Amino acid sequence: MEFMRHTLFENPMLLYVLLSLVWMVTLAWFWSRRTRRARMALLLLPVLAGVIYLASAIVETRREKVLRSIAILQTAVERADADGVIERISPLYDNKGAKRDDLVRVVRWAMPRFRFERILFSGGQLRFEGDVAIADRWATVTPSPDSPLAFGPQQTHWELKLCADADGEWRLREILCLSPVRGTPETLRHRFR
């Protein structure tokens, strides 16, 4: 079922290739016999491809919703937009006893202090465990010269757990830093482990 949902709504390229092959075979059949049935198939196959395209454009799967939410979060981090990051934190946030308000305080304190010249995000795996989406994300960060963090590009690894809130938006339920940036204060390291 997941394969069908992925193929139809998220990446219908396989269906387009198959429809194109069937259309070419039908075209050869039409040229050899010129039947009414072949002519109808030649017209029907592009219409079917259009319907598949509309379905994939209109329907947003939960995987696409999670990826969109992560992209919004990453953009907020890149722009050092504390309010944008806070908007992506779920009211259900709980990381080993640390609640949403604790993370909000950390974000408001850390974002103005630890500035980066450049942040490059790269995706890892996205999987679902029940109603929770778990995403691995890597970030290569280059601290700005006035940042108290160590200099030079560094790679850090994060695990994000997201859940759908009452409004249907996927937000952070838990965040774990699997490999922190060198120079991160010890007090911050413990909050995300």
Average pLDDT over residues 57-80: 87
Q: CATH number, domain at 99?
A: 3.10.450.50
Number of domains in the chain: 2
Of the residues 35, 58, 81, which one is the last residue of a structural domain? 58
Question: What is the chain's mean pLDDT, rounded?
Answer: 82
Angle at 57 between CA 164 and CA 25, to 5 degrees: 135
Asked whether the beta carbons of 179 and 156 are under 8 A apart, the reply is yes
Average pLDDT over residues 9-27: 83
Q: Mark whether 79 and 158 lie in a shared domain.
A: yes
Q: Mark whether 83 and 166 lie in a shared domain.
A: yes
User: What is the model's pLDDT at position 1?
Assistant: 62
Q: Mark whether 129 and 109 lie in a shared domain.
A: yes
User: What is the model's pLDDT at position 177?
Assistant: 82
User: What is the model's pLDDT at position 64?
Assistant: 87
Q: Mark whether 46 and 103 lie in a shared domain.
A: no
- Among 87-91, 143-147, 157-161, 177-181, the minimum mean pLDDT is found in 143-147
DSSP state, 180?
P
Residue 141: which of 125, 157, 126 has the closest Cα?
Answer: 157
Q: Mark whether 67 and 16 lie in a shared domain.
A: no
Q: Mark whether 98 and 44 lie in a shared domain.
A: no
Rounded distance, CA 80 to CA 174, Å? 20
User: What is the model's pLDDT at position 187?
Assistant: 47
Task: For tokens 């953009």, name the residue.
Answer: 75
User: What is the model's pLDDT at position 151?
Assistant: 63
Task: Tell me which range, 8-22, 38-52, 64-78, 103-117, is most confidently predicted by mean pLDDT.
Answer: 64-78
- DSSP-derived 3-state class of residue 148: coil
pTM > 0.85: no
User: What domain range includes position 30?
Assistant: 2-58
Q: Mark whether 78 and 114 lie in a shared domain.
A: yes
